[in-house]
Each structure stands twice: as structure tokens, then as C-alpha cells.
Structure 1
Amino acid sequence: MKQFWTTMLRNPSGVIGLVILTLAVAVALFGPVLFPHSPWRMVQRPFVPPFTLSAVPLGTDALGRDVFAGIIFGARVSLLVGLVSTLVALIVGIPLGAVAGYFGGRVDDALMRLTEFFQTIPSFALAIVLVAILQPSIYSIIAAIAIVSWPPVARLVRGEVLSLRSREYVQAAIVTGQRTGWIIWREILPNALSPVIVLASLMVATAILLESSLSFLGLGDPNLISWGYMVGAGRTVIRQAWWITVFPGVAILLSVLGLNLIGEGLNDALNPRLAREGR
């Protein structure tokens, strides 16, 4: 663990990513304390430019709502969707990939054909269809993103398990009569999690982009404000009030950038060869 954090903190990308993610989480957790009122509330006249009134530092939108308050509350929605949908995708993808890689044969063929079926459909198109069928809500968005996100996890875990199941410690566990589930859980998966952790950080970033895209198209939860909704709401008046679109767009950019930088740092920290080289 000490070696991990030493390597992680030596990586400039990882440090920058951690700082950005920490700020985003702090905003999501403590921002609503600064803005106890609903972000849907009209607080000023419409189209107040940014940095002109201290009460609305980032200006107002077409209905007089505070853009800064919308960004604060939108952080909670975007991070929640990203983290929960990624967690659900891992819960589905890791067991399927582990079973396919360990047993091989017909079990592997069946599970990989199922995985390939989901991968043949464009992720964004499938997410749109699922949300439209289930009706737009925070739950349907999380479910849709999780459904389109688990196949890469399953394929990655399968490849790792295939390379680990022939190792000496696994064969020793089989010879001593340990149960299959115990072998997979205790002997194989702990050694296969490093690339999965890196992939998970990138999946959260992708999930935030997917949620923003769905909200931009009007398929977000109508009861929750999000960055994608704000970008979509401001696109028709972008020449008149550029800040309505730009500021939430920058929030999306920084969050996704931070998560990708963390993924790069994790890749170096969890790679034994790079860690020995002191990168």
C-alpha cells in the first residue's frame, strides 16, 4: 500500500486527477449547504451576465435561475450516476468474466456470445432506447448505463482469469480440494483486480459523459438538474447567453479529465514493472 501511494503521488497526472476529483466530491457533498434553496428557483432576472452580481456569480439562465447553483447540484447527480452505474456494471461483469475464464468450454462460449451481443449495439443508442422504454429517471439512467458498461469488464476479467488459472497457487488450491467459488474469490480475483480498477476509473468518466448526453437530449430525470440538462437548455441561446452552456460544459470537461488522469496514475501505480522503475 505504501509503495502504491508513493508511486501514485510521484505521478503528476495522478496528483492532478486526485485534486480535481476531490474538489468535485467536495462540491457535491457540501455545495448544497451553501445553496439550501432549489436550483430550479428563479432568483434574478433572466440572462444576468456572469461576474456582475455577487448573488449570482456565474449569471442566470433564460428563466432567471442561478447557473452556479445548478452546477453545484448537478455535480451530485453526475457523480452519483457515474459511481453507481459503474459499481453495478462491475457487480455484473466481474462474476460473468470470472466464470467464463475459469470454466472455459461451452460456459465460456455462451457467456462471451452474450457479451458480444451487447457489444454489437452502439452503447449510446442502446442507452437511449433503454431510458426511453423505462421512462427517464435517475434509476433508469443508472440501469441503462450499467447495462451498456458491463461487457468490457467481463471481457477484461475473463482474459485475466484465463492467464491466472494455470498458475501454481491455483493448481495447488485445486489439488487440496478447495471449492471452485473459493478458488475464484480468494486465489484468482485478487490478482486480477489491478486492470479492473484502472478500467473502473475510466468507466466513471464515460458514465458521466453518457448521463450528460442523455440529459442534453431531454432524457434526464425531470426532477433533478444536471450538467447535461444545463448544456441542452442553453444551446438555443448560446449566442445571447454563452455562460449557460459554457460553465456546465467546463464542469463536465474537468470531471472527465480528472478521472482519466486518475486512471493513468492508477495504471502506473498498479503496474509492478513501472513501480519498480520509480515512475
Structure 2
Amino acid sequence: MNIIKTLSQNKVAMVGFFVLAIFCLIAAFGPLLYDGSPWKMVQRPFLPPFENSNYLLGTDTLGRDVLAGLIYGTRISLLVGLVSTLIALLIGIPLGAYAGYFGGWVDELLMRFTEIFQTVPSFALAIVIVAIFEPSVYSITSAIAIVSWPPVARLVRGEFMSLRSQEYVLAAKLNGQTHRNIIMREILPNSLSPIIVLASLMVATAILLESSLSFLGLGDPEIMSWGYMIGAAKTVVRQAWWLSFIPGLAIALTVLSLNLLGEGLNEALNPKMSGKREN
């Protein structure tokens, strides 16, 4: 409750929360309330925004409804961001936990394995992975997850290394608890705060990566996303600026809201920062 109270007192974080909540509602209920297909040609191409009440955001290069594309793209962009982050956490947390808890050769082996994925820039590695497999929402999500888990592993490793010598951990060992129980019940719950903050920022990064891949033509050609909309309009920026501006604004607002919420969570979950703010 103290965390919720502290977070609610952070006006900037609450702005990010409400903006993100709006996008989540659009992703959840938008396609149900707005039954227009994002691929259907409904009007003449390059219809400017607010010129036709039936198509408030205008039409794209093929006469497709921009608002329909924006609504359906919200679901795909958020889904890719959330699922890829979840997969990255499922990979990075166990590896970091075992490396930080056991140390020694286990730590060396797992960290050398982690460094293999960090030697190549994440965006370049994601391009290679998607290019090897057929571009689809599954390959894009997998690629983003693969390039996103190393920072999670390193963060969790550091947390476990600092907590494994605490008195409650030593007491659990003396009581005969297994290593798995100590990791899952004693150390991991006490290291969740920085992991939650990192996860919120990872979702924002994943959305940007998906948009960048789609912009380069490596997105799923059968699924509408914000990155696809920008990539399809990149050759007509001067003629129809709104085709790039509208989905770009949606990406910017989503990423900004996630970053604001992440900073708010960091203050709420970090007692030292919360104390400074209250003073």
C-alpha cells in the first residue's frame, strides 16, 4: 500500500500511467468497437486528417483508414513489447540468479555465455535473427527477447551477489532449505524492485525495436503495426506528413509514458529515493 501511495503522489508517474492505460484500453477494446479493417481501401489516397468525418485521421497511400491502422497497430506493438519482455525475464532471471547465488565456475560460465550475446549490438543482432527466419510477429518477438535478456541477467546477478550473504539467507541454509527454495523464496522476492523497474523500461525498448524492424521492412507483412505504418509512408513524407507523424506520435507517447512510469516505480520501490522526494 505504501508503494501505491508513493506512486500516486508522483504526478509525472501518474501522467505516464494514465497515458499508458489509454493505449491499453485501445489495444483491448479498440478493434471490438471499431470494426473497420486496417487493410481495406475505403477512400481516395492521401485524404488529410479531419477532412472527412468518417475517416478522422485521413487515409494512407492506398486509401486505407489511418485510424483503423493506428488502433490495430496499438494491440500489436504493445503485445510484442509485453511478450518479448516476459520471455527475456524468463531467460535472464534464472541465469542471473544461479550465477549470483552460486558464484565460482557457475558464475564464470553463465556470464561468459551472456557476454556472447552482448558482443554484437542488440539492434544488429535482432536484424540478423529476423532476416534468417521468415519475418513474422513470432520471429520479431523472439528476436527482441533474445537481445533483451542479458541486462536482466546481469542485474539479477548483482542483486543476488549482494543478498546471498544476508542473515536471513544464512539462517535458511542452516535450517536445511534447498538451494531452490532459498533462491525462490528468500532472495528473489527481495530483489524484485529493480527487476520491475527494468521490465517497464524494457517494454519501451521492445516497442522501439519492433517499430525499427518494421520500418526497415522486416516486420510481419500480414499484421498492421505502428512501425509498418511509418515504413509504408517513408517515401511520401513531404506529400503526406501525417502518415508518419501520427504513428510516430503514438510510439513517442507510449515510450515516454513507460519511462515516466518506470521512474515513478523506481522512486516508489526505492526507500532512499522516496525519502529524498518527501523531504
| TM-score range relative to shorter protein | over 0.9
Task: Number of aligned residue pairs: give it.
Answer: 278
Could you tell me how far apart the structure 2 residues matched to 1:124 and 1:64 are?
A: 32
Letter in 1 for 2:137: I
- Show CA shifts across 1:201-237 (max 9, x none): 0000000000000000111111100000100111101
Could you tell me how far apart the structure 2 residues matched to 1:55 and 1:218 are?
A: 30
Give 1:190-201 correspondences, 5 Å limit: 190-201=189-200
* Equivalent residue, structure 2, for 1:54: 53
* Equivalent residue, structure 2, for 1:88: 87
* Equivalent residue, structure 2, for 1:40: 39
- Show CA shifts across 1:103-141 (max 9, x none): 000000010011111111100000000011111011101
1:226 aligns with 2:228: no
Give 1:73-112 correspondences, 5 Å limit: 73-112=72-111
RMSD: 0.8
- 3-state SS in 1 of match to 2:233: helix
- Show CA shifts across 1:223-255 (max 9, x none): 100000100111101111111110000000000
* Equivalent residue, structure 2, for 1:162: 161
Q: CA deviation at 1:277?
A: 4.4
Could you tell me how far apart the structure 1 residues matched to 2:101 and 2:48 are?
A: 59
Letter in 2 for 1:255: T
Which blocks of at least 5 consecutive residues in structure 1 are unaligned? none
* Equivalent residue, structure 1, for 2:132: 133
Could you tell me how far apart the structure 2 residues matched to 1:219 and 1:103 are?
A: 40
Q: CA deviation at 1:30?
A: 1.0
Could you tell me how far apart the structure 2 residues matched to 1:112 and 1:208 are?
A: 27
Letter in 1 for 2:260: L
Q: CA deviation at 1:276?
A: 3.7
* Equivalent residue, structure 2, for 1:153: 152
Which blocks of at least 5 consecutive residues in structure 2 are unaligned? none
Letter in 2 for 1:147: I
Q: CA deviation at 1:37?
A: 2.9
Could you tell me how far apart the structure 1 residues matched to 2:4 and 2:31 are?
A: 31
Letter in 1 for 2:94: P
Give 1:110-259 correspondences, 5 Å limit: 110-259=109-258
Q: CA deviation at 1:34?
A: 2.7
Letter in 1 for 2:147: V
| TM-score after normalising by structure 1 | 0.98
Q: CA deviation at 1:33?
A: 1.9
- Show CA shifts across 1:23-52 (max 9, x none): 000110111123213200001010101110
Could you tell me how far apart the structure 2 residues matched to 1:153 and 1:274 are?
A: 22
Could you tell me how far apart the structure 1 residues matched to 2:274 and 2:252 are?
A: 29
Moved over 6 A (4+): none
| TM-score after normalising by structure 2 | 0.98
Q: CA deviation at 1:12?
A: 1.6
Could you tell me how far apart the structure 2 residues matched to 1:55 and 1:29 are?
A: 22
Could you tell me how far apart the structure 2 residues matched to 1:278 and 1:148 are?
A: 34
Could you tell me how far apart the structure 1 residues matched to 2:90 and 2:218 are?
A: 25
* Equivalent residue, structure 2, for 1:18: 17
Could you tell me how far apart the structure 1 residues matched to 2:57 and 2:208 are?
A: 23
Could you tell me how far apart the structure 1 residues matched to 2:61 and 2:122 are?
A: 32
- Show CA shifts across 1:167-196 (max 9, x none): 000000001110000000000000011000
Letter in 2 for 1:135: E
**1:7–1:278 Cα contact (<8 Å) kept:** no
